[in-house]
Amino acid sequence: MDNLAPAITPPRGLGTNPPMHRGVLNWVQEVARLTQPENIFWCDGSAEENTYLLEEAQRQGIVHKLNEEKVPGSYLHRSNTNDVARVEQFTFICTPTKAEAGPTNNWAEPAETYLKLNGMLKGAMEGRTMFVIPYIMGPPDSPLAKVGFEITDSIYVVLSMRIMTRMGDVAVQRLEGSENGEWNRGVHSLLDVNPDRRLICHFPQDNAIISVGSGYGGNVLLSKKCLALRIGSYLARQQGWLAEHMLILGVESPEGQKHYVAAAFPSACGKTNFAMLIPPERFQGWKVTTVGDDIAWMQIAEDGRLHAVNPENGYFGVVPGTSHKSNANAMKSIERDTLYTNVALTDDGDVWWEGKDGAPPAHAIDWKGADWTPESKKKAAHPNSRFAVPMRNNPVLDPEVEKGEGVPISAIIFGGRRSNTMPLVFQARDWEHGTFLGATMASETTAAATGAVGQVRRDPMAMLPFCGYNMGQYFRHWLKIGPRLKNPPLIFHVNWFRKGADGKFLWPGFGHNMRVLEWIIDRCEGRVGANEAPIGFVPRPEDLDIEGMQNVSSATLTELLSVKADEWEKELEGQEKFFKTLGSDLPEELNAQHDKVAARFKS
């Protein structure tokens, strides 16, 4: 499939209504003068528009309609093979000084970068249609909601943004009614989808994003990583709230007591699975519901608690490994109205991927468009192939998902993919120690970003690729939020990925993570014990319910919960090394937390 689409000629009345907002109009004209599109299509988010654009995208070979009986309303898109993941090496924070971006971000000088990008964008949309997408992040009546406009020359982006955001007139109305008139300007052009001309640039001071040369979701759905996290985190610091790479879930006990939990795991560590968790049989009567699967915007509410909204309107999840066993709720969500990217196409017009239930098809077309059989050595679906699906499809969508003030958060969970060192779960002593746990988070790398897979890297709060400003200053912001909360959430760290001496995972994960969640909720309610270890409060084996688990004996559980001094010696060294890279921006409190843990091991 080719991404680069010639201009479309919409039927009368479609795409012709610009919003009556001088700032938006001027900006669009300016970008049009630069990029020279054949025509401009003003998106309104209507169903007619979507139907027309889907037809057009099929006609141009950008999407392929899947079998209407098997996956109704669903389409497959294949990206360029050089363009399948986020590109951190080409992602820049363009603040006036390098120090503002900090040592963990790529920095570029704003004026020079605008010049360079303008050079690349010059005439870039010749012969193409320029789409203007108004969208809103967050429930429309939320004080946290933000308006954005994205200009793009990709129909795939328009189709995806309609799923992932509240797109169209709702955004224009919000902008008209807003007091501060704040809106994000995003410009995206595929150019020639050339990795040598690929740049994802953020201008936090201008609330602006320019992305060129890519068609991959995380690089081009500018609402998501670019606005909701990078620009979002910058605004959050200025405005006194938090923009985090966190899922939000609700958990209700059989007695009807409900808590909300936010959790930060690095990309492709099972956030979507955790957010849609199905409790095991033993937990009859427990219900887990999803508020969000990737991003949380959190504010200090009037009740003195941290409240969270999901700014998104859909899920952009990793497909391979998704099955009725690993995530039945995701499977139900993606059986219709789904835009798939880079999965395999079966001969009967269905989709297939590694890890899907049932036997592989005898023949399929792989993600690159080539013939595939089970004997093929290559993957049928790209490891970072994705689904984009409206959150409304989720059978366990939380009823409070549209609540403007957000849901009150009882616990925050940090976690990473660690073969060793990190116990299954432990609890921070307080907000400051919890901030330290988030700040020292690390994980083994996955396919969600290009680069080597399986190496431990520090990924504080799962925000390393997404923090729009200096990481040390970001920690300072976190430290300031805690004391302003009358009732701060408790903070935990989990690791579903610890391995035994045989190299196998010790914990089965998925639905069984409910057992850990129960302990967390019980801690919030003050009704379960723990051991005080040098690293924090670790459950005693008897504090976790493992009844009915086949492969987790009490010896396995003891191993899962163990805190090994030699492993922690290395861990503390790794943490210290990372902290040193942050220089004087690192808050002294976090160094002190580190030293306290080290001292507790010694005593």
CB 197 within 8 A of CB 119: no
Angle at 394 between CA 260 and CA 135, to 5 degrees: 85
What is the torsional sign of CA 60, 64, 69, 73? Answer: negative
Q: Does residue number 417 form part of the binding site for ligand OXD (CB under 6 A)?
A: no
**Residue 443 C-beta: closest distance to ligand OXD, Å:** 11
**Residue 8 C-beta: closest distance to Mn ion, Å:** 31
For β-strands 442-444 and 91-93, DSSP reports them as: unpaired
What is the torsional sign of CA 217, 219, 222, 224? Answer: positive
For β-strands 425-427 and 351-352, DSSP reports them as: unpaired
**Residue 236 C-beta: closest distance to Mn ion, Å:** 17
Q: Count residues near Mn ion (CB under 5 A).
A: 2
- Angle at which helix 110-121 crosses helix 22-35, to 10 degrees, equals 60
Active site residue 269: yes
Closest CB to ligand OXD among residues 218, 279 = 218
Rounded distance between C-alpha atoms, residue 195 and residue 365, angstroms: 25
**Residue 267 C-beta: closest distance to Mn ion, Å:** 5
State the binding partner of 250 from ligand OXD, Mn ion, none, CB within 5 to 8 A by kind: none
Rounded distance between C-alpha atoms, residue 364 and residue 380, angstroms: 8
Choice among 94, 201, 226, 269 that is catalytic: 269
Judged by CB under 5 A, the chain residues 267 through 296 that form the site for Mn ion are: 267, 294
Angle at 419 between CA 416 and CA 422, to 5 degrees: 60
Q: Is 25 left (phi over 0), alpha (psi -120 to 50) or beta?
A: alpha
Contact pattern for ligand OXD over residues 219 through 258, marking x by CB under 6 A: ----------------------------------------
Closest CB to Mn ion among residues 74, 267 = 267
What is the torsional sign of CA 233, 386, 5, 71? Answer: negative
Rounded distance between C-alpha atoms, residue 40 and residue 15, angstroms: 8
CB 543 within 8 A of CB 528: yes
Judged by CB under 5 A, the chain residues 291 through 350 that form the site for Mn ion are: 294
Contact pattern for ligand OXD over residues 285 through 314, marking x by CB under 6 A: ---------x--------------------
Which residue, among 409, 435, 445, has the nearest Cα to 86 in the 3D structure?
445
Q: Does residue number 216 form part of the binding site for ligand OXD (CB under 6 A)?
A: no
Closest CB to ligand OXD among residues 159, 448 = 448
Residue 147 is encoded by which pair of tokens? 């308006």
State the binding partner of 86 from ligand OXD, Mn ion, none, CB within 5 to 8 A by kind: ligand OXD
Angle at 93 between CA 89 and CA 97, to 5 degrees: 125
Rounded distance between C-alpha atoms, residue 416 and residue 444, angstroms: 7
Closest CB to ligand OXD among residues 280, 383 = 383
Q: Does residue number 316 form part of the binding site for ligand OXD (CB under 6 A)?
A: yes
Rounded distance between C-alpha atoms, residue 512 and residue 517, angstroms: 9
Closest CB to Mn ion among residues 227, 506 = 227
The window from 266-274, 542-550, 556-564, 593-601 that contacts Mn ion (CB under 5 A) reads 266-274
Q: Does residue number 218 form part of the binding site for ligand OXD (CB under 6 A)?
A: yes
Q: Does residue number 448 form part of the binding site for ligand OXD (CB under 6 A)?
A: yes
State the binding partner of 448 from Mn ion, ligand OXD, none, CB within 5 to 8 A by kind: ligand OXD
**Residue 441 C-beta: closest distance to Mn ion, Å:** 14
Q: Which residues are catalytic?
A: 269
Instruction: Give the residues lining the site for Mn ion (CB under 5 A).
Output: 267, 294
Instruction: Give the residues lining the site for ligand OXD (CB under 6 A).
Output: 86, 218, 267, 294, 316, 448
